[in-house]
Amino acid sequence: MATMSSSGRASVGSSSTHSSKPSSSSSKSFTPDCIAPEQRPRFIQPGLPTLTWPEERGSASIIYATRIYAPIALVASALLDTRSYSSWNRYCPTIQVNSQPRSTAPIPPIVARDPSVAAIANLPSTLRDGATFTPHVLLDVASVPENASAVMQNSKYPTYNTKACPELQVSALDQYIRPDGRICMRMAWRARGKMANFLLRNERVHELVTSPDDPNMTDYVCWETFFGGLNGAMQSVYGKQMERGYGMFMDGLKRNSEERARGRAMAEEVIEQKRSHAEDGLVPAPIVSI
């Protein structure tokens, strides 16, 4: 099963104590060794440890990862801002935030000061630590085209329906330094409710890892571990659909973040050109239509 290695990273080992009682999400800092840098979503067995249940055995995990050529704050803002999901998340285009604690942990410092995050930090639609929410996922991802976001917003295409999933809660939103010295922002959410604790309990961990050499590059690593008696049936019936759906989630996050990064770079270049012209006493040439 998955255990903690001496380096603080998750690895596959022997038995551990089984407990359904959550532990502090900040007590463990680890990243699974088994997730490749460019990993398409797939199920593995046994499951990996999570932040809430670091010592408990999960029956299976779905793992995936990719490199995103965008600053960590832009990736974080897309992940935190539920209003943006319909523009990039083909698998889960809608998230309904049900509650947000009045007192919540601060946004991780590594992204908090960026304008893209500061603008949404205090909105009721933002996924802050402790927030509860209901995701709405596509019922049939196999038939979803590339332009699914536009299709789902068009009433002429009623076949692309979404289904409300059980309520989830943000169980962690923090940052830490990984064993390799890289700074990481971490966000996790887990299932809520008494039934979830016994029949199908799960927790998904998202890690946004900075690059020491390039501030415009972020490694996205994610795994979700499933516990409980219904996991086998769930994986048998929905496993392939989930793998494709989670791939749509990851690809959309990457595409959205990189497009916004390019837009920001172009805007900064224009501002720099105007500043340079002003310092040199030059007036930009007018645009002539042909």
Going from N- to C-terminal start, the domains of the chain cover: 2-278
CA dihedral (231, 233, 235, 239) in degrees, to 10, reads: -150
Q: Which of 220, 172, 179, 170 is nearest to 69 (CA)?
A: 220
CATH code for the structural domain at 2-278: 3.30.530.20
Name the residue with tokens 């501030």.
215
pTM recorded for the entire structure: 0.81
Neighbours of 46 (CB within 10 A): 14
Q: Would you give per-residue pLDDT tens digits along the chain (290 residues)?
A: 343 333 344 433 333 333 444 444 444 456 778 899 999 999 999 899 999 888 887 889 999 999 999 999 999 999 999 999 999 998 999 999 999 988 778 899 999 999 999 999 999 999 999 999 999 988 777 666 655 555 445 444 344 567 778 899 999 999 999 888 899 999 999 988 766 666 678 999 999 999 988 999 999 999 999 987 766 667 777 788 899 999 999 999 999 999 999 999 898 888 877 777 776 666 555 554 44
Interatomic CA distance for residues 209 and 221, integer angstroms: 8
